[in-house]
Amino acid sequence: MPKSNWCIDLKPFDIVEFRGKNILLLCHENADLDAFCSAAILARFLKQKKIKSVLAVPSHINEQTLSFAISEKISFSVNPSLEGFDVICLFDFNDYEQLGKLRKEFTKKVKKNCVKVIAFDHHEIEKRSIDASKKFVNAGAFSTTEILFDLIGKKFDSKMSFYACLGMIEDTGRFLVGSKKFFESFSKCLSKSSANYTKVFELAKHKAPDGERIAFLKAANRSNIVKLKKAIVVTSTISFYHGAVSTKLLDFGADISLVCGTEKKGLTHLAARAETGFKENKNFNLMRHLFVPLQKAIGGDAGGHSGAAHWKGNVNEKKVLSEAIKILKARFD
């Protein structure tokens, strides 16, 4: 079964909207390969049409993406002033939080109605999502670069094809998920790419830093198994790397992993992952069936996909985990 596609909103892509405008191509905070490559693809496409644009990240770019940007000589600005931009394109996110330091200025500009916001994204739209004036959004796509390929793939040169491959391989966890259409698109991009598969694969390899690997080991050591009739759930606690840890915990055999941790400011995070085969067989969507009811029960903010989601709020870890387990029990026990 394909990923849910209940918020497909692919309007026709029209270059006219970009002509004569000052354009900012903005990735999410802590930009990853998918966000950055998507922005780089659009920047190249606009350049082909002799339209200038500025590629930017709010304040951080992840290490892997930074080394990619350097090797490809793609310049970008960090924490740019939004002053003077008529069009802001957002890549790979729809959450105000992910604007980082730019959130305040962005919100102000949108309120004043002095900027056009265009979203390119494959995350499910929530009520609190940024409401872009134009959305190229498909929650059924596996990466934002795949959406760019669907929109302007015919115009892709070898570099753009290479960048698209990187986003696709990165966001599928190196092909843990996919669809016939997805692999066709990947294959087309790889054929046209300036790089071979080994290079694409190596670039998308995430080499975990020591801190992250220690977090994996600690979380594994602290994990609890909750065996329900129709699901094996694993829970654990760790202060950092909740998302990465919960992905890792699935490798040990859980159907669903829940990883909780508290930040300095007392804000509790919960990251969860659901194994792909499991969620499709059981018709289970982490957002809809766990995080939405969880948010209803204990408040806080939630966001994510059917197989990966995140919640945060001011509720203690024990309570968060017990509420989450209660919801899962009602469905799987």
Instruction: Determine the Cα angle at 42 with ends 40 and 43, to 5°.
Output: 60
- Closer residue to Mn ion, CB minimum distance, 125 or 226: 125
Which lies closer to Mn ion via its Cβ, residue 139 or residue 231? 139
Q: How far is the CB of 33 from Mn ion (least distance, A)?
A: 9
Whichever of 64 and 144 has its CB closer to Mn ion, that residue is 144
Taking the least distance from each CB to Mn ion, the nearer of 27 and 226 is 27
Residues whose CB falls within 8 Å of the CB of residue 312, separated by 6 or more in sequence, listed in order: 267, 268, 269, 270, 300, 301
Instruction: Give whichever of 92 and 275 is closer to Mn ion, judged by the CB atom.
Output: 92
Candidates 3-11, 90-98, 175-183, 262-270; binding stretch for Mn ion (CB under 5 A): 90-98
Residue number closest to Mn ion, CB atom:
34
Span interacting with Mn ion, options 87-95, 145-153, 219-227, 243-251, rule CB under 5 A: 87-95
* Contacts to Mn ion from residues 102-121, by CB under 5 A: none
Tell me how far, at minimum, the Cβ of 179 lies from Mn ion, in Å: 16
Measured from the CB atom, is 34 or 255 closer to Mn ion? 34
Nearest to 124 by CA among 309, 276, 311, 304: 304
Nearer to Mn ion, 116 or 122 (CB): 122
Asked whether position 34 contacts Mn ion by CB under 5 A, the answer is: yes
Stretch that binds Mn ion, among 34-42, 112-120, 174-182, 325-333 (CB under 5 A): 34-42
- In the complex, least distance from residue 16 CB atom to Mn ion, rounded to whole angstroms: 27
Contact between 95 and Mn ion (CB under 5 A)? Answer: no
Instruction: Give the whole-angstrom CA distance, residue 145 versus residue 153.
Output: 10
Within 121-160, which residues bind Mn ion (CB under 5 A)? 144
**275 contributes a contact to Mn ion by CB under 5 A:** no
How many residues bind Mn ion (CB under 5 A)? The answer is 4
* Interface residue with Mn ion, options 146, 171, 255, 275 (CB under 5 A): 171
Helix ranges restricted to H, 128-236:
144-152, 158-171, 180-192, 197-203, 210-221
* Alpha carbon distances (Å) from 323 to 188, 256, 326: 45, 15, 5
Please report how close the Cβ of residue 268 comes to Mn ion at its closest, in angstroms. Answer: 25
CB within 8 A of 318, min separation 6: which ones? none
Stretch of residues binding Mn ion (CB under 5 A), selected from 41-49, 84-92, 278-286, 297-305: 84-92
Nearer to Mn ion by C-beta: 34 or 124? 34
Degrees (nearest 5) of the Cα angle 40, 45, 47? 95
Phi-psi region of 79 (alpha: psi -120 to 50; beta: other; left: phi over 0): left
Which residues neighbour 54 within 8 Å (Cβ) at sequence distance 6 or greater? 23, 24, 25, 77, 80, 85
- Can residue 92 be called a binding residue for Mn ion (CB under 5 A)? yes
The two structure tokens encoding residue 108: 């102000």
| Contact yes or no for 130/111 (Cβ under 8 A) | no
- Spatial contact of 206 and 197, defined as CB atoms under 8 Å apart: no
Beta strand ranges found along 58-209 (DSSP E):
77-78, 87-91, 116-121, 134-137
In whole angstroms, how close is the CB of 112 to Mn ion at the nearest point?
29
- CA–CA distance, 320 with 131 (Å, rounded to integer): 29
The site for Mn ion (CB under 5 A) is made up of 34, 92, 144, 171
